[in-house]
Amino acid sequence: MDNSPLSHYNITNMEEQKWHAAKGALETSTDALTFKTFFSKLEFISAENGRLILSSPNKFIIRQLEGKYAAPVRDALKAANFAPELIEYIVAGASDAEKIAKRRKDTTIDLTTSLPTKPTTIKHHSTNLNPKYVFDNFVVGDNNNLVFAACRGVAEEPGTRYNPLYIHGGVGLGKTHLIQAVGNEIQAKHPDFRILYISIDTFYKDFVASVQKKLSGFTEKYRENDVLIIDDMQFLEGKKESQKEFFHTFNDLQQNNKQIIISSDRPPSRIADLADRLTSRCEQGMIIAVQPPDFETRCAILNTKAELSKLHFSSDIIEFIAKKYTSNIRELEGALNYAGLLQMSLGPRFSLARLEAELQDTKKLRPRTSPENIIKATASYFHLTVTELSSDSREKHILTPRQIAMYLMKTELALSYPQIARALGRKDHTTAMNGVQKINKLIATDGLLRDQVIHIQEAAC
Ligand code: ADP
Ligand code: MG
């Protein structure tokens, strides 16, 4: 990495420091509740060409930041001697924000590339479990009672009953919550057990570091556990060496009756490359799916979350939210929190009609996506201009983003290839077809690309 004082890296760091100063200024200039709700989770992503990009975990909050809180944010930045022309917000949790910021620095990590870390041993952070994910606050309905029972079974008798336990299902359906709840329960019962919760991404990075930098500690970190919990297994697709290592780890733990718990967005049989080995291994244990919650379960989840957050809503409000958000519990939570904020700011004027109008507005503000939105979001994610993205350049840093835009126009809008070509100012529809096919293929094996596509999709919709 370039270490000269003028290197891009250092300049970015300086802007990041200014952002931290601005965040500090916001903390002193606003009341504690406002700060906690709107500003505390804002993370710096990048600052280039007068454009500051920040991330927030929630699009409802972003809406407020772009409206009501635009001026306070500007003022705080000014106080920190920072005056970007444009401030943009993207939706991302804290760990996503780190990933995105990091990805901007090292584009791909594989055994052939080098990691920007200093040689040392691989870090072993305690269990990594989040104490908020427990069985007690998990609402059980028809959609998830089997998976819940399997998790409880594992928590009662780790390493014996279902080993491995493999849970799969769509985004926001509670997989992370459940697998961590198992870990927390086992920890409470067996304080002497060594438990590790890890995203497969970390496993992969640790493995690459252990090979490239010859760091010690990898085997110890992963094999010397009583319970190993692996989240988002699908990202191991296409990473052959890491897969081999994963199977060694897996064998070792299973032979010693140590519990393995895996989550993924799809069943093992649908993880390319891994399918055969993983399926047969997992069949020795338990493979089980989480389904989207039905209406009643959604209401129960909302009531539980409201109680936990000390919010009080009438049943019409709860039912309205449960009808509107059907397939992702994270969205349900987001809407509930937003209703809570609205209730707090409107007091007695808060009503179902008002909430409906506000949530309608959110839709207006972020209309169903269009080819233009997709192109803009893709260009902005990769820090390109729309003209560059639509140009004839075949340079990789422009070509891949262009193909991602093509792919999203196909998957999000179901445009025809000639329509996609036209949206990008081209006549020939075969380039659009090739582009879509290429991303389609790559996405199955490249977790980072998949991640990028998801972020752009969220930003465009
Ligand atoms: P996934 O890992 O499947 O994408 P998460 O476990 O992250 O989903 O769940 C998203 C959010 O929804 C979390 O805050 C989680 O606590 C909550 N959640 C999901 N399912 C339930 C449930 N059945 N009861 C209570 N909260 C739930
Ligand atoms: Mg998850």
Which pLDDT does position 361 carry in this prediction?
57
pLDDT by residue (tens digit) across 373-404? 999 999 998 989 999 999 999 999 999 999 99
User: Which of 95-99, 137-141, 182-186, 288-292 comes out lowest in average pLDDT?
Assistant: 95-99
Ligand number, closest to the Cα atom of 334: 1
Q: What residues does 289 pair with on adjacent strands? A: 168
**Distance of alpha carbon 265 from alpha carbon 440, whole angstroms:** 17
Residue 367 above 60 pLDDT? no
Residue 196 above 80 pLDDT? yes
- Percent of the chain scored above 90 by pLDDT? 42
Which pLDDT does position 255 carry in this prediction?
92
Ligand 1 pocket, residue 334 CB under 6 Å: no
Ligand 1 pocket, residue 234 CB under 6 Å: no
pLDDT band at 417, cuts 50/70/90?
very high
CB atoms inside a 10 Å sphere around CB 443: 20
Which pLDDT does position 109 carry in this prediction?
34
Ligand 1 pocket, residue 176 CB under 6 Å: yes
**Distance of alpha carbon 446 from alpha carbon 441, whole angstroms:** 9
User: Which of 158-162, 204-208, 252-256 comes out lowest in average pLDDT?
Assistant: 204-208
Q: Measured in angstroms, how far is the CA atom of residue 147 from the centroid of ligand 2?
A: 15
Q: What is the average pLDDT across 236-263?
A: 91
Ligand 1 pocket, residue 177 CB under 6 Å: yes
More confident residue, 57 or 193: 193
Strand, coil or helix: what is 158? coil
Q: What is the average pLDDT across 216-243?
A: 89
**Distance of alpha carbon 259 from alpha carbon 282, whole angstroms:** 12
More confident residue, 244 or 64: 244
CA distances from residue 454 to 45, 68, 381, 426 in whole angstroms, order as listed: 16, 28, 11, 25
| Phi, psi angles (nearest 5°) of residue 295 | -55, -45
Residue 129 above 70 pLDDT? yes
Ligand 1 pocket, residue 389 CB under 6 Å: no
Residue 107 above 50 pLDDT? no
Q: Which of 330, 331, 458 to mutate to test the pocket of ligand 1 (most atoms within 8 A of CB)?
A: 330
Specify the ligand 1 atom closest to the Cα of 132.
16
**Distance of alpha carbon 111 from alpha carbon 29, whole angstroms:** 48
Q: What is the average pLDDT across 121-149?
A: 86
Residue 358 above 90 pLDDT? no
Q: Measured in angstroms, how far is the CA atom of residue 22 from the centroid of ligand 1?
A: 32
Report the chain's mean pLDDT, rounded to a whole number: 84
Ligand number, closest to the Cα atom of 297: 1
Q: Residue of the nearest CA to atom 1 in ligand 1? A: 172
Which pLDDT does position 151 carry in this prediction?
97
DSSP secondary structure of 254-315: HHTT-EEEEEESS-GGGSTTTHHHHHHHHHTSEEEE-----HHHHHHHHHHHHHHTT----H
pLDDT band at 100, cuts 50/70/90?
low
Ligand 1 pocket, residue 175 CB under 6 Å: yes
Which pLDDT does position 202 carry in this prediction?
86
- Percent of the chain scored above 70 by pLDDT? 88
Q: Which of 173, 291, 337, 454 to mutate to test the pocket of ligand 1 (most atoms within 8 A of CB)?
A: 173
Which pLDDT does position 364 carry in this prediction?
37
Residue 185 above 80 pLDDT? yes
Residues whose CB is under 5 A from ligand 2 (ion)?
176
pLDDT band at 246, cuts 50/70/90?
very high
